[in-house]
Amino acid sequence: MNKHQKKLLVIIAEAALEKRLVADVLQAGAHGYTVHDVRGGSDFSTREGRWEADRTIEMKVICEPAVADAIAEQVIARYAPHYGLTLFFADVAVLRPEKF
């Protein structure tokens, strides 16, 4: 099986950012993404998702490492000062590299 190395960028953010994040990801060169509604909490807060301002999303982007880095830098610069964000990377192997 021929596997191809890519980077997975996961962005956990306030749902109010979804449309802006989609535009940022596509503009940076990613070919696609997935978004899910999620709930969670920490020692600092709990987001129950009962109303729009309390919803959280998880966006996953599989792309080239340079694209993932560019997206993360842009998201941190634009949104971290004013919104709750968590970003992390993982190495992934894909089977159809032209999709990513």
| HEC assignment per residue over the chain | CCCEEEEEEEEEEEHHHHHHHHHHHHHCCCCCCEEEEECEECCCCEECCCCHHHCEEEEEEEECHHHHHHHHHHHHHHHCCCCCEEEEEEEEEECCHHHC
Global pTM value: 0.87
pLDDT of residue 39: 81
**pLDDT tops 80 at residue 96:** yes
pLDDT of residue 43: 63
- 17-66: per-residue pLDDT in tens? 999 999 999 999 999 999 999 987 666 665 555 555 678 999 999 999 99
pLDDT of residue 88: 98
